[in-house]
Amino acid sequence: MNTNNGEFINAVKGNVAFYLPQLFEFIPESESFWNDADKRFKNKIQERLTLAAGENIQVEITIFDIIFLVKQGNIEAFRFLNFVRKMFSHLFNNLQPDERTMVKKTFKTILKKLDLSYINFVGELAVLNNIMSTKKYRLETVEASLTDSLNTIDFKVRDLKTNESHLVEVVNIHIDSDKVQTNPELIKAFFTHRLSKKLKSKQTQLPFELITVLWGKWQDFKVYTDYFKQYPMHLDNVREPMAYLTFTETDNGSKFENRFMRISRLFDEKWQTSGESNEDSKQH
């Protein structure tokens, strides 16, 4: 990515207003947070320019960079931002006013993270949106404290039918293509290795689910799609992973569909994959 985007860095709030206005539903435009966000990103750009010393360098992209790439006409960034924008809008509609206040910190974290880790919090909100879109739950707490523990759980929701509270933890996994295995036993071992420690740290008496969000290339997703079509998740209290992927309907990509769903269903229906899963997030 060209690091010389000085014209952008003085207008974070203005660019958000045009490209991602749903953020103002959660973080009012009048808040001083936006001035702080502008300063932080400006400092980040200066840090990149100093490091680059006139050369192109590889950087971890931020949500602000996604907006900048959209301004440059990058179609992959446009499609991903379309997914984020619609998800934020749906989440706003799926939450009650007091629930929206609870997730405000998560939205701020997305903007504060000036590296690829911002996408982990996008994953958290996407999972929450899927849960709340069922209309079966009420959000009780974000970052709920566990009894007799310093650990927290991402979301505590209440089942509207049973009035029972449930805890939901989201784990984002960024897939390394060079380490993807097709052998079912090795796939099973991969998830055991990545999730067992997290499960142990989140022990609780309340009903609990761990939901994994995978980020990677569509070819890697296909491996896990094939696996989970044949095998259930073997770990207790862990749901089948979810993933984001863009599909195009025509050769020129003029029509597209963003999907965020269980990985076993990700390739259902015969759309043409564009190969976009936002793992192309490290730009030169």
Rounded distance between C-alpha atoms, residue 92 and residue 100, angstroms: 7
Distance from C-alpha of 138 to C-alpha of 142, rounded to nearest angstrom: 12
pLDDT tens, residue by residue, 150-209: 789 999 999 999 999 999 999 999 999 999 999 999 999 999 999 998 998 887 878 899
The percentage of the chain sitting over the pLDDT mark of 70, rounded to a whole number, equals: 89
The per-residue pLDDT for range 32-63, each reduced to its tens digit, is 999 999 999 999 999 999 998 888 888 899 99
Predicted TM-score of the model (pTM): 0.90
Digit-coded pLDDT (tens) for 242-271: 999 999 876 665 788 999 999 999 999 755
Among 124, 188, 182, 134, residue whose Cα is nearest residue 159: 134
| The pLDDT of residue 205 | 79
Q: Where are the domains of the chain?
A: 6-283
Around Cβ 121, how many Cβ atoms within 10 Å?
A: 23
